[in-house]
């Protein structure tokens, strides 16, 4: 009997994270059962996927004349109103999305999904929709964690604009190290094309396998090598955006861009000002070697201090610095898949189970720093020699060498593990905060305090909180805290979503109270134009409205973004 499938592999690629889940980490599940007080016997799926035939979608509001006029713009094949297609475009991939989807609770499917083949078709669709007041949701990989692809239903029809047919790397300028790329290209599509010419974009968010260039730009994405290559905002040199008012192109920004930045107004605009169709991206030479190692420190403060010193060194250019606190370090050690040590399935990595990062080898305060450099072999040696000197000054020593491929897989498999955990009744979500160095240790404590307090109030015990630093830079870092707890016994998907939201809100309040900044949140929760708090809030909301009004006078684009006024 076919059921809803929320495993990421169902969504698309799945090539980078070989099929290893909880079964490949035999020590992980028993440990989680113990930490979260899940009865030993409970291996039942507590959040099972609904049978597909139980899923009821409301019928499409797109009546025959509307569908027909849309087909005359795009062609018959490019306009789909069948239920499986509508279902696949109903949700992003947040915890709330997944529990609702697993339950077969799908209140907001789009009325149609369209697949334009070029920017002029998109312009025609936006004109068509503006004339009729029909909502349009741009859709890349569908991996939004912030509700970006879901539109609360109202009377007016909703069209999802799937960008999959605009997926070409159009031109590579090897002299200027830039590439013109269509917005619907996914991470693997972009990298396989650039790699074949000896280049890389260098943007590797956790959603890399599925997410698209347009989605990265629309959400101001940051990837795992951003400290070397830059976040998507720095990688983007210019963009082309189709708005309901017409095509808008930013000049190809080089070093300076006099005047207020049009580019930075469009980056992060989450499809609410226009549809990003193409971008001129800064590319880099594909590094010919990588050297990733895991360094162990005996406590969090030492690890933090070492990270700061590494990133402040003018002599070092790391690609990755990821510091896992004691609780994340323990999980990390437990998720080294046994078969990768037995069969060497992860190329170029571990020949044996790395005892030093196994959970047995870690003391309760130990933290692990995953640090990676990419470039020429000689330079890598020199970089590591400086890095090790800094680390040993803080009591750190290398636990594992050659960890690059292990680390890459580790990141990409987390969504798969998350899906299995959700199936087994665990709530798992992440809250992300930017902090300056002078605040990071206190912010760490206050986020943890707020989360455990809030988890307790939802009746799920103490939960399990683990934090890492990523996007480490000269002036601060990002604190990423993942919280696990047993799902509320109420099997209703809305109750499960509400449990997670309550906890998340507590963390958010704690972050803002300390002057930290939410990252990885939707438009209205960041610290950009729409994420302002206090006395700025109403003013910035008015500013957004007047900008939105100029781009999209009828208000058809992503209308479910909350109006902050």
Residues of span 227-256 touching a copy of itself by CB under 8 A: 231, 233, 237, 245-256
| 514 makes contact with a copy of itself (CB under 8 A) | no
C-alpha pair distances (Å), 321 with each of 71, 220, 309, 419, 473? 49, 20, 12, 26, 9
CB nearer to a copy of itself: pick between 7 and 527: 527
Stretch that binds a copy of itself, among 74-82, 361-369, 429-437, 483-491 (CB under 8 A): 429-437
Whose tokens are 């239903």? That residue is: 153
Position among 216, 406, 437, 444 found at the interface with a copy of itself (CB under 8 A): 437
Restricted to residues 539-558, the positions that interact with a copy of itself (CB under 8 A) are 539-540, 542-544, 546-547, 549-551
Position among 42, 536, 562, 563 found at the interface with a copy of itself (CB under 8 A): 536
Restricted to residues 333-352, the positions that interact with a copy of itself (CB under 8 A) are none
For a copy of itself (CB under 8 A), the number of binding residues is: 92
Give least dist CB 560 to a copy of itself, A.
16
CB nearer to a copy of itself: pick between 178 and 486: 178
Q: Return the structure tokens found at 40.
A: 């030993």
d(CA 275, CA 214): 8
Give least dist CB 267 to a copy of itself, A.
7
| 173 makes contact with a copy of itself (CB under 8 A) | yes
Q: DSSP of 472-500, one letter per residue?
A: EETTEEEEEEEEEEEPPS---HHHHHHHH
Give least dist CB 252 to a copy of itself, A.
7
Position among 177, 389, 513, 565 found at the interface with a copy of itself (CB under 8 A): 177
Position among 212, 387, 399, 434 found at the interface with a copy of itself (CB under 8 A): 434
Restricted to residues 199-228, the positions that interact with a copy of itself (CB under 8 A) are 219-220, 222, 226
Nearest of 149, 93, 91, 96 to residue 493 by alpha carbon? 96
| 537 makes contact with a copy of itself (CB under 8 A) | no
Whether the CB-CB separation of 36 and 426 falls below 8 Å is answered with yes
Give least dist CB 515 to a copy of itself, A.
7
Restricted to residues 104-163, the positions that interact with a copy of itself (CB under 8 A) are none
Which ranges in 103-163 belong to alpha helices (H)? 119-132
**Within 13 Å, how many C-alpha atoms sit on residue 19's CB side?**
3
DSSP-derived secondary structure letter, 373 = E
CB nearer to a copy of itself: pick between 259 and 347: 259
Restricted to residues 352-391, the positions that interact with a copy of itself (CB under 8 A) are 375-376, 379
| 28 makes contact with a copy of itself (CB under 8 A) | no
Restricted to residues 32-71, the positions that interact with a copy of itself (CB under 8 A) are none
| 508 makes contact with a copy of itself (CB under 8 A) | no
d(CA 503, CA 256): 42
Q: DSSP of 321-365, one letter per residue?
A: EEEE-HHHHHHHHHTS-HHHHHS--STT--SS--GGGSGGG--TT
Q: 412: burial class by Cβ within 10 Å (0-12, 13-18, 19+)? A: buried
| 289 makes contact with a copy of itself (CB under 8 A) | no
Give least dist CB 167 to a copy of itself, A.
23
Stretch that binds a copy of itself, among 154-162, 329-337, 341-349, 536-544 (CB under 8 A): 536-544
Helix, strand, coil % in the chain, rounded to nearest 5: 40, 20, 40
**Within 13 Å, how many C-alpha atoms sit on residue 227's CB side?**
27
Give least dist CB 439 to a copy of itself, A.
8
Q: Does an H or E element contain 297, and which?
A: strand 290-297
Q: Return the structure tokens found at 150.
A: 């879901």
d(CA 460, CA 404): 36
| 99 makes contact with a copy of itself (CB under 8 A) | no
Give least dist CB 407 to a copy of itself, A.
20
Maximum Cα–Cα distance across the chain:
72
CB nearer to a copy of itself: pick between 125 and 218: 218
CB nearer to a copy of itself: pick between 17 and 479: 479
d(CA 166, CA 521): 26
Give least dist CB 250 to a copy of itself, A.
7
Give least dist CB 442 to a copy of itself, A.
12
Stretch that binds a copy of itself, among 10-18, 89-97, 181-189, 514-522 (CB under 8 A): 514-522
Position among 21, 140, 415, 531 found at the interface with a copy of itself (CB under 8 A): 531
Whether the CB-CB separation of 87 and 57 falls below 8 Å is answered with yes
Any bridge partners for residue 83, and if so which?
A: none
| 291 makes contact with a copy of itself (CB under 8 A) | no
| 2 makes contact with a copy of itself (CB under 8 A) | no
CB nearer to a copy of itself: pick between 74 and 226: 226
Q: How many CB atoms lie within 10 A of CB 58?
A: 12
Give least dist CB 432 to a copy of itself, A.
9
Whether the CB-CB separation of 134 and 556 falls below 8 Å is answered with yes
CB nearer to a copy of itself: pick between 245 and 358: 245
Whether the CB-CB separation of 239 and 279 falls below 8 Å is answered with yes
Whether the CB-CB separation of 169 and 178 falls below 8 Å is answered with no
| 439 makes contact with a copy of itself (CB under 8 A) | yes
d(CA 520, CA 517): 10
Phi then psi for 486, rounded to 5 degrees?
A: -70, 145
Restricted to residues 455-474, the positions that interact with a copy of itself (CB under 8 A) are 471, 473-474
Restricted to residues 478-497, the positions that interact with a copy of itself (CB under 8 A) are 478
Whether the CB-CB separation of 110 and 159 falls below 8 Å is answered with yes
Give least dist CB 536 to a copy of itself, A.
6
Give least dist CB 500 to a copy of itself, A.
19
Rg for the chain, CA atoms, rounded: 23
């Amino acid at each position: 009997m076919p059921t809803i499938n929320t495993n990421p592999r169902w969504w698309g690629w799945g090539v980078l994270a070989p099929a290893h889940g909880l079964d490949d980490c035999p020590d992980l599940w028993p440990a989680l059962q113990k930490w979260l007080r899940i009865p030993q016997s409970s291996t039942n799926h507590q959040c099972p996927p609904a049978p597909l035939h139980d899923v009821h979608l409301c019928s499409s509001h797109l009546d025959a004349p509307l569908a027909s006029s849309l087909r005359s713009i795009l062609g018959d094949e490019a306009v789909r109103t069948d239920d499986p297609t509508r279902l696949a475009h109903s949700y992003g991939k947040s915890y709330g999305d997944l529990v609702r989807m697993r339950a077969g609770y799908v209140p907001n499917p789009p009325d149609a999904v369209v697949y334009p083949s070029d920017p002029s078709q998109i312009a025609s669709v936006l004109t068509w929709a503006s004339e009729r007041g029909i909502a349009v949701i741009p859709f890349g990989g569908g991996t939004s964690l912030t509700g970006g692809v879901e539109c609360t239903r109202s009377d007016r029809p909703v069209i999802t604009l799937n960008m999959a047919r605009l997926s070409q790397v159009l031109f590579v300028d090897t002299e200027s190290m830039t590439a013109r790329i269509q917005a619907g290209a996914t991470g693997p599509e972009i990298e396989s094309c650039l790699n074949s010419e000896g280049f890389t974009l260098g943007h590797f968010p956790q959603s890399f396998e599925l997410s698209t260039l347009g989605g990265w730009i629309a959400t101001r994405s940051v990837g795992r090598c951003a400290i070397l290559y830059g976040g998507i905002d720095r990688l983007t040199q210019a963009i082309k955006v189709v708005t309901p008012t017409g095509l808008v192109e930013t000049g190809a920004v080089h070093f300076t861009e006099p005047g207020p930045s049009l580019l930075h107004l469009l980056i992060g605009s989450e499809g609410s000002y226009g549809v990003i169709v193409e971008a001129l991206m800064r590319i880099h030479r594909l590094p010919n070697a990588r050297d990733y190692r895991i360094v162990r420190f005996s406590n969090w403060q030492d690890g933090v201090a070492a990270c700061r010193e590494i990133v402040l060194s003018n002599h070092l250019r790391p690609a990755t610095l990821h510091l896992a606190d004691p609780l994340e370090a323990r999980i990390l050690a437990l998720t080294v898949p046994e078969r990768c040590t037995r069969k060497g399935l992860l190329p170029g990595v571990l020949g044996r189970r790395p005892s030093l990062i196994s959970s047995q080898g870690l003391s309760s305060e130990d933290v692990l720093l995953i640090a990676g450099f990419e470039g020429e072999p000689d330079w890598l040696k020199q970089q590591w020699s400086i890095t090790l000197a800094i680390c040993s000054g803080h009591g750190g020593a290398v636990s594992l060498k050659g960890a690059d491929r292990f680390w890459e897989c580790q990141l990409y498999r987390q969504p798969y593990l998350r899906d299995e955990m959700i199936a087994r009744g665990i709530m798992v979500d992440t809250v992300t905060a930017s902090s300056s160095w002078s605040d990071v240790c206190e912010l760490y404590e206050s986020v943890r305090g707020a989360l455990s307090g809030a988890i307790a109030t939802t009746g799920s015990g103490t939960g399990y909180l683990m934090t890492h630093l990523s996007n480490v830079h000269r002036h601060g870092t990002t604190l990423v805290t993942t919280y696990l707890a047993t799902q509320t016994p109420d099997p209703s998907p809305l109750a499960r979503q509400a449990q997670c939201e309550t906890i998340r809100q507590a963390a958010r309040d704690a972050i803002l109270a300390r002057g930290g900044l939410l990252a990885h949140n939707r438009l209205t929760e960041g610290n950009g134009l729409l994420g302002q708090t206090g006395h700025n809030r109403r003013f910035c909301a008015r500013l957004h409205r007047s900008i939105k009004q100029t781009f999209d006078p009828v208000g058809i684009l992503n209308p479910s973004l909350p109006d902050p006024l």
